[in-house]
Amino acid sequence: MKYKEKNNMYLKGISLIVLVITMIIIIIIAGAVILNLTQNNPISEAKRAKFLSDIDTFNSELSLYVLKEQAKSRGQYDKAQLYANSNSVTENGNKDTSRTIGNVITSMNNTKYIDKIEISEGNLVYVGGLDEEENWFSQVIKPSGGGSSLLTAKVNLGDYITYTSSQKTSYVSTSDTGTQSMQGFDPQNTTLWRVLEKDESTGAVSIISSGSVGDLTLKGMSGYGGAVRALDNIANMYINLNYANSARSIVSGDYEKLQQAGVLDIGEAYWLASTNSATVDGRGSSYTYWRVYCITERASSSYEELYYINNMSHQVIDRTETCGVRPIIILKENLLITGGSGTSDAPYIIGI
């Protein structure tokens, strides 16, 4: 009898332990299920996707607004002085209470974001006070503080940047210039550049030398035929693979870009990698001219005639012309600004 009672107590003890273990397992499984459901909640994920899409749209519209203002002011518009909220817009220190952030980002009008998003120093900031939305916001808009910021988010057209090629003195082939001696360029002597273009969608920024990097002399038929190749070769001398993807020459189609960025006039003539030929008939005469385009000292588009033919007498006349060279560098995406203020005295310093 006593053995039976002890055995029953033993069995009851085992049952209680099993029950406790079972409950612990059930609680763990339930917690995992709840956590999984929370993380994969289709309603929450849809809200997140909609929020990210809206913020991306607002950011794109803000970038377009800034680009338009810079174009209207020929590169003089300062993005860093743009502030806006639901009550006013401040640009270049002038506060306008008749306008709101909805005038800058029109798609934000009549939405819940009008009191949640502001513009500070030309960038979107979240002020809605909800941790979840603030976390989502940071996935689209990276903080600009901390001593460095993305180059494409900070610079404006015409800003000054410090950039130095990694290559040493190189020479242009005489077969491309038509001259008797080779002409050299020292890429490391040029360190001051200006912002010519920026692509908000890719983050790519193009810069152009603030002045001529040196003179290039072209002569006659060889100079005409090799001008584009010579200018492209010079541009490639200025690539620094740590910071640049590629380089190119200025072409005639860049005239408006130079004008909008405020970098057209440098007080001296410089070549464009564009050529043409034309026949001009006069009184009893006919000439065919072969020309290379340039920007003149007065910042107007023109051309230099390197040789021409008298179509009546078939006489060929070679000419020798000298102009400056201004390479264009296409920088890598996601470069950082680590110092400077974008002026000629304190150009932006770029880093990786």
Q: For 57-84, what is the mean pLDDT?
A: 83
pLDDT of residue 288: 93
Domain-embedded: residue 217 = yes
Separation between Cα atoms, residue 250 and residue 183, nearest integer Å: 19
Segment 183-215, tens digit of pLDDT: 999 999 999 999 999 886 777 899 999 999 999
Last residue of a domain, one of 89, 108, 141: 141
Q: For 316-322, what is the mean pLDDT?
A: 93
pLDDT of residue 36: 56
Q: For 17-46, what is the mean pLDDT?
A: 66
Residues 271 and 302 in one domain: yes
Cβ count within 10 A of residue 142 = 11
Residues 209 and 288 in one domain: yes
Domain-embedded: residue 174 = yes
Residues 231 and 271 in one domain: yes
Domain-embedded: residue 262 = yes
pLDDT at 231 over 50: yes
Read off the pLDDT band of 42 (50, 70, 90). Answer: low
pLDDT at 109 over 70: yes
Read off the pLDDT band of 147 (50, 70, 90). Answer: very low
Read off the pLDDT band of 4 (50, 70, 90). Answer: very low
Residues 137 and 272 in one domain: no
Residues 77 and 188 in one domain: no
Separation between Cα atoms, residue 218 and residue 230, nearest integer Å: 9
pLDDT at 314 over 90: no
The answer to whether 89 and 105 are in contact (CB under 8 A) is: no
Which carries the bigger pLDDT value, residue 31 or residue 196?
A: 196
**Per-state percent for the chain, helix, strand, coil, to nearest 5:** 35, 30, 35
Residues 90 and 217 in one domain: no
Residues 198 and 271 in one domain: yes
Domain-embedded: residue 16 = no
Instruction: Kindly state the percentage of the chain with pLDDT values over 70.
Output: 88
pLDDT of residue 220: 94
pLDDT at 299 over 80: yes
**String of DSSP letters for 259-270:** HHHT-S--SS-E
Q: For 222-244, what is the mean pLDDT?
A: 95
Angle at the Cα of 326 from the Cα atoms of 320 and 327, rounded to 5 degrees: 120
pLDDT at 40 over 70: no
Read off the pLDDT band of 223 (50, 70, 90). Answer: very high
Domain-embedded: residue 212 = yes
Structural domain range at position 91 = 47-141
pLDDT at 66 over 50: yes
pLDDT of residue 194: 97
Segment 238-293, tens digit of pLDDT: 999 989 999 999 999 999 999 999 999 999 999 999 999 999 987 778 989 999 99
Domain-embedded: residue 208 = yes
The answer to whether 134 and 126 are in contact (CB under 8 A) is: yes
- What global pTM score does this model have? 0.59
Domain-embedded: residue 31 = no
Q: For 224-249, what is the mean pLDDT?
A: 95
Which carries the bigger pLDDT value, residue 327 or residue 141?
A: 327
Report which residue type is found at 116: K
Residues 100 and 181 in one domain: no
Average predicted confidence (pLDDT) for the chain: 85
User: Which residues lie below 8 Å from residue 183, measured CB to CB, with a gap of 6+?
Assistant: 171, 172, 177, 214, 215, 216, 217
Residues 99 and 213 in one domain: no
Which carries the bigger pLDDT value, residue 134 or residue 10?
A: 134
The total of structural domains in the chain comes to: 2
Domain-embedded: residue 149 = no
Residues 334 and 244 in one domain: yes
Residues 184 and 90 in one domain: no
Segment 334-346, tens digit of pLDDT: 788 877 888 998 8
pLDDT of residue 151: 84
pLDDT at 100 over 70: yes
Residues 173 and 235 in one domain: yes
